[in-house]
Chain A
Amino acid sequence: DVKVTQSSRYLVKRTGEKVFLECVQDMDHENMFWYRQDPGLGLRLIYFSYDVKMKEKGDIPEGYSVSREKKERFSLILESASTNQTSMYLCASMRQINQPQHFGDGTRLSIL
């Protein structure tokens, strides 16, 4: 079974802090993704990566950056956290576009 592991289930940070969300997958998948999920807005893609050190902006990249130094790990960085970044963050991975995308359990992030 594919395993996508997000480092924290719940996280509370203060405005202005630099926040790191970590995601690890154990299936040697090329593609990894970061989404946020908000009531009424559904899932929105923040960034994705199709290879080590490669990244592409999704639909809402403002205020975020990412890092992919190793194939199995994809990090989401909030450079200076703001209250409007309070959300559920979901990481996903996928081998190829004709295969299913698998998600982690999510990180509920609160910015105070």
Chain B
Amino acid sequence: KQEVTQIPAALSVPEGENLVLNCSFTDSAIYNLQWFRQDPGKGLTSLLLIQSSQREQTSGRLNASLDKSSGRSTLYIAASQPGDSATYLCAVRSVLSFQKLVFGTGTRLLVSP
């Protein structure tokens, strides 16, 4: 059974800092991995999708990497801003249960001005 872990559960940084959020998964047989952000009381916003054949994806100040063999993904946020404050979730689509996304419990990020 696929399990997804995100560490740390919470992170607080000053504005302007570069930061890395971590995601690990137990079964490396995956189709893809997706990163989301969630603002309080809202739904999830898709940030990046990495296919199993890819090593990284970039969108603006965000860069997500994938090391499938070691069961790890990182989300790199450059020059953080207060507007980046949110909970970040990673989710994995496994080969064995490809219709389902398995979610981590998220990292709550606070960027202080």
Partner-B contacts on A (CB < 8 A): 4, 6, 31, 40, 42-43, 45, 48, 50, 56, 58-59, 90, 92, 97-106, 108
Contacts and interface: CB of A to CB of B under 8 A. Distances in A.
A101 B42 contact: no
A100 B104 CA distance: 16
B41 A108 contact: yes
A90 B99 contact: no
Given A97-B31, A98-B51, 7 more contacts: A42-B106, A43-B103, A58-B100, A97-B93, A101-B34, A103-B46, A106-B42
Interface of B: 31-32, 34, 36, 41-46, 49, 51, 89, 91, 93, 98-101, 103-106
A74 B44 CA distance: 18
Contacts of A4: 43
A24 B31 CA distance: 26
Contacts of B100: 45, 48, 58-59
Contact of A106 (B31, B43, B103, B105): B43
A98 B32 contact: yes
Nearest to A45: B100
3 A-B pairs with least C-beta separation: A103-B44, A103-B43, A105-B43
A29 to B, nearest CB: 13
Nearest to A59: B100
A49 B108 CA distance: 31
A1 B104 CA distance: 25
Contact of A48 (B32, B41, B99, B105): B99
Contacts of B42: 105-106
B98 A42 contact: no
Nearest to B49: A100
A56 B43 contact: no
A90 B32 contact: no
B31 to A, nearest CB: 6
Given A98-B31, A98-B51, A103 B103 contact: no
21 contacts: A42-B104, A43-B103, A45-B101, A50-B99, A56-B99, A90-B43, A92-B44, A98-B31, A99-B49, A100-B34, A100-B46, A100-B49, A101-B34, A101-B91, A101-B101, A102-B46, A103-B43, A104-B43, A105-B42, A106-B42, A106-B43
